[in-house]
Structure 1
Amino acid sequence: MQSKIQRVYSVFRKKKIIIAFSGGVDSSVIAILAKKSADKVICCTLYHPLLLDDLEEIKKVASEINVDWRIIEIESIPNKIIEKNPKNRCYICKTNMMKYLIEYKNRKNFDMVVDGTNYDDLNKFRPGIKALKELGVVSPLVAAKLTKREIRDIAKSYNLSVAQKSPTTCLLSRIPYNEKITKEKIEMIKKAENFLKKDLNMSLIRVRTHNLAKNNFLARIEAKKEDIRRIIRSNELTTLIISKLKEIGYNLITIDLEGYHENYVK
């Protein structure tokens, strides 16, 4: 493990770096290690209401790490993503987003933009990784071959609150490919997931949102297996979820019995 950490240090040493900061365990570990070896570090969170729900949690993590943290607002999402929602939307979106960081890096006269892609991500469906390579964004965790488990171990060693944090993904991932993305759908997803997380204490939740017909929506709830069992065994809980999600705007509410699928929309 130490040799891998030294590899990360070597990427940062005597460099001024911009970190694409999500507040998750990967980018938080990047920030911790960068502070120890880079000349200067700025963590930047790219924000657009269709992509991120709440900045407060990210702000708390940045404060915990005691890092220079900035918010960069994204002016717009490419129309092709909104209207067509193609299978390569992550590639298109990542290309658009990272250009903001590269422009910021150039204005600040820094050396590089880095992100938190880890070694395990190379074995998953991650169209955005192609965009990172094309734009010259550096992925130190990949270079050091650090796996998710190892990254969590590093986070634990620094007592980071996000060491066991459930993975977070862009809100667009809740909507199946080729279905139009609308502000209405995103707002429904935000409200539904916040209710399940905060009111019902479900840490890993995805409310996949499908069009049944015009203005008719199906919610397919993905959760940890233990939370699925908890829902199924409680008529009171089931009734509460149905009532709340219908109030939010869903017409049909379902539970995916296979549980949580990472970055997966059927």
Structure 2
Amino acid sequence: MTTVEAKLEAARDDLAARDGVLVAFSGGVDSSAVAALAHDALGDDAVACTAKSETLPEAELEDARRVADEIGIRHEIVSFSELESDAFVENDDDRCYHCRTMRLGEMLETARSLGVSTVCDGTNADDPGAGHRPGLQAVEELDVHSPLLAHDVTKEEVRAIAEHYDLSVADKPSMACLSSRIPTGLEVTEDRLTRIERAEALVRQWGFDQFRVRDHDGLARIEVSPDELDRALEREFVETVRAELSKLGFDHVTLDLHGYRTGSVSPETESDAAESSSDD
């Protein structure tokens, strides 16, 4: 038995010993692996739950629905608004803490209504060492179970588990919530979130895989992975994106020649903290 197989079995046995679980489910690879493990272990006593809010792109919600169908797990969708929290809107260094507290609070409330005693998330063994991650404090405070972390499953091993279950998201890039595109200290508003979502939908149509559109109060800073920079410099892309993003309300449109970097608008040690459980 390989190390990954042993960890997979241990995580599955962990979940099988519970009366039922609700998985905080974004459709990213981490939460999808947990959902697949839970469904394998518990069948109909496992539930995936996605929290819909202004910070979740519609495309990600559709992905979550699709992956839940792949797994065959029951899928619940609940709605809430982070924008009702002044602490979240303020967008300080602990934005992800406030977001995760609200999001997991919705999970716990849904679990109670379904008579489920355990809420799980997709935190993996690599996450605690990945820089400033205030969202992990919320996971600990709310006593949410992280089976991947509990059984020392790394990100690479998560992808192997996803492949074991034939999940289409096994190689999916990490995806943080839309608020991670707004620099710390600049208020999170519905208008900013909407134009970021629309801008990224446009960039995605050009076939880019790993990218972000950062909103610097009217200046759009496009980041793409280093191996895609050449394509981003092609005249047709440059002219089209500049025109379309200007229509969305951006005063200036720029391409970051450093390429895609997690947490590039956040504190120096912060990575995109929602990538594994909002899920990512």
Q: Mark yes or no: TM-score above 0.5.
A: yes
Aligned residue number for residue 214 of structure 1: none
Q: Tell me, what secondary structure is at the counterpart of 1:71?
A: strand
CA–CA distance in structure 1, aligned partners of residues 198 and 81 of structure 2: 23
Aligned residue number for residue 22 of structure 2: 18
What amino acid sits opposite 1:21 in the alignment?
Answer: F
Q: Which of 41, 53, 57 is equivalent to 2:46?
A: 41
CA contact (8 A) 1:24 1:168 kept: yes
Q: Tell me, what secondary structure is at the counterpart of 1:38?
A: helix
Normalised to the residue count of structure 2, the TM-score between the two structures is 0.88
CA contact (8 A) 2:8 2:161 kept: no
CA contact (8 A) 2:54 2:81 kept: no
Normalised to the residue count of structure 1, the TM-score between the two structures is 0.92
Q: How does 1:61-210 map to 2 (within 5 A)?
A: 61-77=67-83, 78-82=85-89, 84-124=90-130, 125-198=132-205, 200-210=206-216
After TM superposition, give the deviation of residue 61 of structure 1 in Å: 0.9
Q: What's the RMSD between the two structures over aligned residues?
A: 1.4
After TM superposition, give the deviation of residue 76 of structure 1 in Å: 4.8
CA contact (8 A) 2:92 2:185 kept: yes
After TM superposition, give the deviation of residue 11 of structure 1 in Å: 2.0
Q: Tell me, what secondary structure is at the counterpart of 1:42?
A: strand
Aligned residue number for residue 236 of structure 1: 236
CA–CA distance in structure 2, aligned partners of residues 80 and 158 of structure 1: 39
CA–CA distance in structure 2, aligned partners of residues 263 and 8 of structure 1: 30
Q: Tell me, what secondary structure is at the counterpart of 2:246?
A: helix
Aligned residue number for residue 226 of structure 2: 225
Q: Tell me, what secondary structure is at the counterpart of 1:220?
A: strand
- The answer to whether structure 1 residue 27 and structure 2 residue 31 are counterparts is yes
CA–CA distance in structure 2, aligned partners of residues 64 and 12 of structure 1: 20
Query: Deviation per CA, 1:51-88, whole angstroms, max 9, x where unpaired?
Result: 33332121111111111001011155312221x21110
CA–CA distance in structure 1, aligned partners of residues 128 and 192 of structure 2: 30
CA contact (8 A) 1:173 1:264 kept: no
Q: Which of 4, 7, 10 is equivalent to 1:7?
A: 10
What amino acid sits opposite 1:65 in the alignment?
Answer: I
After TM superposition, give the deviation of residue 155 of structure 1 in Å: 1.3
CA–CA distance in structure 1, aligned partners of residues 17 and 165 of structure 2: 23
What amino acid sits opposite 2:231 in the alignment?
Answer: R
Q: Tell me, what secondary structure is at the counterpart of 1:23?
A: coil
For structure 1, the 5+ residue unaligned runs are 212-216
What amino acid sits opposite 1:145 in the alignment?
Answer: D
- Identical aligned residues as a percent: 34
Q: Which has the higher contact order (CA 8 A, sep 6+)?
A: 2
Where has structure 1 moved over 4 Å in runs of 4 or more?
A: none
CA–CA distance in structure 2, aligned partners of residues 174 and 255 of structure 1: 14
- The answer to whether structure 1 residue 52 and structure 2 residue 57 are counterparts is yes
Query: Deviation per CA, 1:114-169, whole angstroms, max 9, x where unpaired?
Result: 00011111111221001000100011000111111111112122221101111111
